[in-house]
Amino acid sequence: MTSPRRRALQLPATGASTRRVFRRRHRPARWRQAAIALLLGASGVGLMLALLQLPERFDTFLVLSTALANLIGGVQRALWGLAQLFVVVLLVLAAMAALGLVVAGGIRLVRALGPQPSRRN
């Protein structure tokens, strides 16, 4: 027999055997994984195609050399040179982001189309 004090200290029983915090997260559906993978890949390819159009419109070496010449030219044009270098850095970052998007899309597509791990219940 348990004392009344001991019964009062017991936690109330809930319907679920495990707490919500410790439950495993459900993986998204295959079609959703494949759609995300294709969107990531398409956005990376689109960004790469846009970056490939830049040399036709701008001579990137000219932009870089002009930026360096403006920096050397003096304090008066230093801000303009920094702005041009900032544009060059942004172009490099955009190219890296495009490559990352394509790689991430490819990995997600392989995971979505590959064998799914068995679920433990």
pLDDT given for residue 45 in this prediction: 94
* Residue 4, in any domain of the structure: no
* Residue 50, in any domain of the structure: yes
Q: What is the DSSP letter of 76?
A: T
* Residue 69, in any domain of the structure: yes
CA dist list (Å): 2 to 6, 8, 13, 56, 65: 6, 10, 17, 86, 86
Q: Are 50 and 97 in contact (CB under 8 A)?
A: no
C-alpha span between 20 and 14 (Å, rounded): 11
Interacting residues of 22 by C-beta distance below 8 A, sequence separation 6+: none
Task: Note if the pTM is more than 0.85.
Answer: no
* Residue 12, in any domain of the structure: no
* Residue 9, in any domain of the structure: no
Residues of the chain with pLDDT under 70: 1-24, 57, 75-77, 119-121
Length of the chain (residues): 121
pLDDT given for residue 62 in this prediction: 81
C-alpha span between 117 and 110 (Å, rounded): 14
* Residue 20, in any domain of the structure: no
* Residue 49, in any domain of the structure: yes
pLDDT given for residue 20 in this prediction: 63
Q: Residues 36-60: pLDDT tens digits?
A: 999 999 999 999 998 888 777 677 7
Domain enclosing residue 34, as ranges: 27-113
Count: domains in the chain: 1
pLDDT given for residue 89 in this prediction: 94
